[in-house]
């Protein structure tokens, strides 16, 4: 009934813990675990092979998030697909049940699980994740994230994930599907999810975000912001609000080191985003 798809590359630090938690889930419905690796060079594959999973490998040079998702899902046999990142550790033994229950009951076609950032690992990312994935059901539902979500396989059969995007393939898919299908946020279907802090990662991520926004606008005609949001005045307001929120958060959490890094990191992230936004896809 359920296929859990895990995409991985060099995830030796977390993959064992993730798989342990999956096979300790309290749920009456049968499930399979499909792991799709894209060129791991550490002990990820050795660890994975110790578990009752189906393992497939693709060349690292062919990887995009959309391609890995489409390839992995095509190899599953379940009617419900659960996507989980290889470094997203379920917080308890009821994660899977909470995630798929609205689909099994017919309440939803797709569900979005909560993500809980690991404190102090990446304070810049921590602020965003806490805002996007709250502990209670929000007024505005978070968009789908393939780090922790589930959906009926028939939705994917109708509309595959875009294989050209560097990121945001889940957001684009959500935008395309939400007019016709019901998405439900499941805050109790939670996982721990953070990426280690590094300047290179933050800049690369911001650049990819800019590229994704332009691609979605040019290739698909979907505008993620209106005309006013592109004005200089609105951009200045966004930057000032963003910096204010970071300062308030860092002070509250006593992240003084990262507060000092703020004048360096954030301008570089803004520049990387604008560079990606201006480059042709």
* DSSP per-residue letters across 28-88: SS-EEEEEEES---SSHHHHHTTSS-EEEE--GGG--HHHHHHHHHHT---SEEEEEETT-
Looking at the fold, whether 230 and 111 belong to one and the same domain comes out as: no
| Residue the block writes with tokens 């985003």 | 273
Looking at the fold, whether 137 and 229 belong to one and the same domain comes out as: no
pLDDT of residue 266: 95
pLDDT of residue 227: 44
Residues contacting residue 108 through CB under 8 Å, at least 6 positions apart: 102, 182, 183, 184
Looking at the fold, whether 30 and 100 belong to one and the same domain comes out as: yes
Q: Indicate the residue among 135, 163, 192 that finishes a domain.
A: 192
* pTM of the model as a whole: 0.91
Rounded-to-integer distance, Cα 58 and Cα 70, Å: 12
Looking at the fold, whether 7 and 110 belong to one and the same domain comes out as: yes
Looking at the fold, whether 163 and 274 belong to one and the same domain comes out as: no
Residues contacting residue 159 through CB under 8 Å, at least 6 positions apart: 173, 176, 177
pLDDT of residue 254: 95
Looking at the fold, whether 175 and 206 belong to one and the same domain comes out as: no
Q: Indicate the residue among 160, 192, 224 that finishes a domain.
A: 192
Looking at the fold, whether 61 and 182 belong to one and the same domain comes out as: yes
> If DSSP codes are grouped into helix, strand and coil, which group holds residue 190?
strand
Looking at the fold, whether 17 and 120 belong to one and the same domain comes out as: yes
Number of domains observed in the structure of the chain = 2
pLDDT of residue 226: 47
pLDDT tens digits along 190-231: 999 999 999 999 999 999 999 998 888 887 787 765 444 556
Looking at the fold, whether 85 and 103 belong to one and the same domain comes out as: yes
Looking at the fold, whether 84 and 223 belong to one and the same domain comes out as: no
pLDDT of residue 280: 65
Looking at the fold, whether 49 and 186 belong to one and the same domain comes out as: yes
pLDDT of residue 230: 57
* Domain enclosing residue 270, as ranges: 199-278
Rounded-to-integer distance, Cα 14 and Cα 143, Å: 25
Looking at the fold, whether 188 and 214 belong to one and the same domain comes out as: no
Give the domain CATH number at 40.
3.90.550.10
Q: Indicate the residue among 129, 164, 192 that finishes a domain.
A: 192
The shares of helix, strand and coil residues in the chain, as percent rounded to the nearest 5, are 45, 15, 35
Q: What are phi and psi of 80, to 5 degrees?
A: -115, 130
- Which residues of the chain fall short of a pLDDT of 50? 226-228
């Amino acid at each position: 009934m359920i296929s859990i798809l895990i995409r991985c590359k060099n995830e030796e630090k977390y993959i064992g813990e993730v798989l342990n938690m999956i096979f300790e889930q309290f749920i009456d419905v049968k499930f399979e675990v499909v792991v799709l690796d894209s060129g791991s060079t550490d002990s990820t594959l050795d660890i994975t092979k110790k578990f009752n999973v189906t393992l497939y490998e693709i060349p690292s040079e062919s990887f995009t998030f959309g391609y890995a998702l489409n390839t992995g899902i095509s190899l599953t046999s379940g009617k419900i697909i659960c996507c989980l990142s290889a470094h997203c550790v379920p917080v308890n033994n009821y994660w899977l049940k909470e995630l798929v229950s609205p689909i099994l009951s017919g309440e939803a076609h797709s569900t979005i699980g909560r993500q809980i950032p690991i404190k102090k690992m990446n304070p810049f990312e921590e602020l965003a994740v806490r805002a996007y994935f709250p502990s209670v059901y929000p007024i505005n539902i978070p968009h789908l994230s393939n780090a922790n979500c589930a959906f009926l396989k028939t939705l994917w059969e109708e509309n595959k994930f875009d294989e050209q995007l560097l990121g945001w393939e889940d957001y684009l898919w959500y935008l395309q599907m939400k007019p016709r299908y019901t998405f439900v946020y499941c805050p109790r279907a939670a996982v721990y999810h953070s990426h280690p802090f590094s300047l290179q990662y933050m800049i690369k991520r911001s650049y990819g975000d800019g590229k994704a926004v332009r691609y979605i606008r040019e290739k698909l005609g979907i505008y993620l912001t209106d005309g006013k949001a592109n004005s200089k005045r609105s951009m200045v307001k966004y930057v000032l609000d963003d910096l204010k929120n970071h300062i308030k958060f860092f002070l509250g959490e006593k992240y003084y080191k990262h507060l000092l890094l703020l004048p360096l990191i954030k301008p570089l992230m803004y520049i990387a985003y604008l560079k990606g936004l201006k480059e042709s896809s």
